[in-house]
Homo-oligomer: A and B are copies of this chain.
Amino acid sequence: MNVLESILSRRSTRSYQSLPVEQEKLEKILEAGRCAPSGGNNQTAHFLVIQKEDVLKKLVELVQNAFAKMEVYDGMYKSIRNSILQSKKGNYVFHYNAPVLIVVANQKDYGNNMADTACAVENMMLEANDLDLGSCWINQLRWLNEDPTLVAYLKELGMQTDERVYASVAIGYPETVDGLPLRKALERKGNKVTWIL
């Protein structure tokens, strides 16, 4: 699949098979993420590749607990609002039960932390699509990236003291009839272009 084909056909996958992802494919995905550009070539992203079921369950529990304690308000960003409301009901699984979650941390005092992380995640999603894997950007761990309980647990997993989570990405085989990602291109009505000639 060439670059533009992968870009145009990438879609968010929100339902996964429990099937594990081959190590060889994960290594290609990590290579794509690690080779993203970084501000001043700093290369300070840190990829935590989580496949252990107990760890994923624990994260689901901690994320649900954190959101359940929060209150919604008028004008709140709709996805955060949904996370809170679903967590209060006690059935919130933030990573859509994907078998792999790649958490991307970066230096908390570094001005390019979000930009560098986003480039790495985009690269990983494009490569996953090329490998017939589905993926979905996960914002929840960033929204909670100063939650003390979550920070403490992520440090147990290897996150460093000066790092925080800026994004994560769920990866796995999609729960579709053929097991392949849905690839029908989604129309862009926004993202407008102004030509200055």
Binding site for B on A (CB under 8 A): 1-4, 6-8, 10, 12, 28, 30-52, 55, 77-79, 111-112, 114-123, 125-127, 129-130, 137, 139, 157-158, 166-167, 185-186, 188-197
Known contacts A38-B190, A39-B139; 20 additional CB pairs below 8 A are A2-B2, A3-B126, A10-B37, A35-B185, A35-B186, A35-B188, A39-B79, A40-B79, A43-B188, A47-B191, A48-B194, A51-B196, A114-B115, A115-B167, A119-B121, A120-B191, A123-B126, A126-B126, A158-B194, A158-B196
13 contacts between A and B (CB under 8 A): A3-B130, A10-B35, A33-B191, A41-B186, A44-B190, A46-B192, A48-B194, A49-B196, A117-B118, A119-B119, A119-B122, A126-B126, A157-B194
Known A49-B195, A196-B158: A130·B4 in contact at CB below 8 Å: yes
